[in-house]
Amino acid sequence: MTRRGWVYFVAVGVIWGLPYLLIRISVREISPPLLVFIRTGGAALVLMPLAAARGALVPAIRRWRALLAYTVAELAVPWVLLFNAERRLPSSLSGLLVAAVPLVAAVLALVTRSEHIDFRRVAGLGVGIAGVAVLVGFSVAGSQLLFALSLGAVVVGYALGPWVVDHKLRGVPPIGVIAWSVLLCAIAYAPAALLDLPTRPLAASVVESAVALTVVCTIVAFLLFFALINEVGAMRATLVTYVNPAVAVILGVAVLGEPFGLATAAGFVLILAGCFLASRPPRRAAREAGAPRDAALTVTDGPAGRGDDEVAASDVGQGGAPGAVPAP
């Protein structure tokens, strides 16, 4: 990985571990539907013009059914459920539970027979599920159980999003997909947001968190993630999945003073180990893909004259889609 690639990797890993803290602060005074509207509406104001300038809007809207499915699975449903859950759950716990996305993605691949599942991936599923069980069983109080279970729907949505991209939006520029998605989500949540406006001035920390969630964790993060894909390839870019939960835990404990006991540590290790095993390609497939495929997914090693937009477009559906790494 190049030096610039490492910079992008670390930046995306940290930025997408930050939302859990910012959400926890924001929902103290902002309702989940309003926060979804703020985040998606603000992102749409920036990403739509950028996507239009790159000619990415028309290819995406031509597949509007798949685009709607992606929007519902990746943004509209998961974000409102996640925001609502963080009203009651520690941000670190939410980040760890959402980190189970690769486990559900592996199950989805098995059910749809879209990928080969070998013993190593099955073992990863078992280890990861054990980690989730440890977290829910030892770190969730009775009154929090319903909110923790709702994160299951978030995880399923985050796993379905990349599947939709892989099977229905292959070849579509990712910036076009995410630009339309945040716009459609903002339009859908506008009525609920208008009905739930704050009745008193918001605390400065809440305003700052909502702004950072929109600007840094959505607009900047997606642009950096696209740059990361172009720099190091789609497969390596998805490795930020293993950085996000660690950042979420560190920030939750250090900034909000959230508890971090033995059960949380055990669940953390088991989930990440399970995700690593479950998301690894079968050995034979990995050998067949090998270096040539990875090289084809990088800008520096790709064919001469291949532009950034071409690389970004080819990566959709190959592990580098905007939903390949869930944006919390």
Asked whether residue 320 is assigned to any structural domain, the reply reads no
Centre a 10 Å sphere on the Cβ of residue 229 and count the other Cβ atoms it contains: 33
Query: Using CA atoms, how far apart are residues 308 and 133, in angstroms rounded to an integer?
Result: 42
List the structure tokens of 154.
């978030």
Residue span of the structural domain in which 286 resides: 3-315
Asked whether residue 321 is assigned to any structural domain, the reply reads no
Centre a 10 Å sphere on the Cβ of residue 52 and count the other Cβ atoms it contains: 14
Total domain count, the chain: 1
Per-residue model confidence (pLDDT) at position 242: 76
Who wins on pLDDT, 216 or 235? 216
* pLDDT, average across residues 273-298: 56
Using pLDDT thresholds of 50, 70 and 90, give the confidence band for residue 69.
very high
Please say if the pLDDT value at position 302 is more than 50: no
Query: Using CA atoms, how far apart are residues 7 and 106, in angstroms rounded to an integer?
Result: 29
Query: Using CA atoms, how far apart are residues 117 and 96, in angstroms rounded to an integer?
Result: 24
Asked whether residue 139 is assigned to any structural domain, the reply reads yes
Long-range contacts of 286-291 (CB under 8 A, 24+ apart): none
Q: From 244, 208, 236, select the one nearest 100 (Cα to Cα).
A: 244
Query: Using CA atoms, how far apart are residues 91 and 73, in angstroms rounded to an integer?
Result: 22
Using pLDDT thresholds of 50, 70 and 90, give the confidence band for residue 300.
very low
- 35 φ, ψ (degrees, to nearest 5): -70, -40
Query: Using CA atoms, how far apart are residues 99 and 94, in angstroms rounded to an integer?
Result: 9
Asked whether residue 326 is assigned to any structural domain, the reply reads no
Who wins on pLDDT, 285 or 48? 48
Average pLDDT, the chain: 82
Rounded to the nearest 10 degrees, the angle between the axes of helix 244-256 and helix 3-15 is: 50
Where is average pLDDT lowest: 4-18, 69-83, 94-108, 177-191? Answer: 94-108
Asked whether residue 157 is assigned to any structural domain, the reply reads yes
Who wins on pLDDT, 294 or 240? 240
Q: From 94, 105, 203, select the one nearest 160 (Cα to Cα).
A: 105
Using pLDDT thresholds of 50, 70 and 90, give the confidence band for residue 319.
very low
Percent pLDDT > 90 in the chain is: 39
The answer to whether the predicted template modeling score (pTM) of the entire model surpasses 0.75 is yes
- 292 φ, ψ (degrees, to nearest 5): -60, -40
Alpha helices, DSSP H only, in the chain? 3-15, 19-26, 32-53, 57-61, 64-71, 77-85, 91-98, 101-112, 119-139, 145-168, 174-194, 204-214, 221-232, 234-237, 244-256, 262-278, 283-296, 308-315
Could you tell me if 283 and 118 are in contact, meaning their C-beta atoms sit under 8 angstroms apart? yes
Asked whether residue 81 is assigned to any structural domain, the reply reads yes
Using pLDDT thresholds of 50, 70 and 90, give the confidence band for residue 240.
confident
Q: Give the CA angle between residues 99, 31, 175 to the nearest 5°.
A: 55
Q: Give the CA angle between residues 98, 237, 119 to the nearest 5°.
A: 65
Asked whether residue 153 is assigned to any structural domain, the reply reads yes
Using pLDDT thresholds of 50, 70 and 90, give the confidence band for residue 283.
low
Asked whether residue 60 is assigned to any structural domain, the reply reads yes
Q: Exposed, middle or buried: residue 308 (CB in 10 Å: 0-12, 13-18, 19+)?
A: middle
Please say if the pLDDT value at position 118 is more than 80: no
Q: From 175, 163, 215, 172, select the one nearest 38 (Cα to Cα).
A: 215
Residues sharing a CB contact under 8 Å with residue 20, sequence separation 6 or more, in sequence order = 86, 91, 92, 94, 95, 248, 251, 252, 328
Please say if the pLDDT value at position 136 is more than 80: no
* pLDDT, average across residues 144-168: 89
Q: From 319, 261, 260, 259, select the one nearest 294 (Cα to Cα).
A: 319
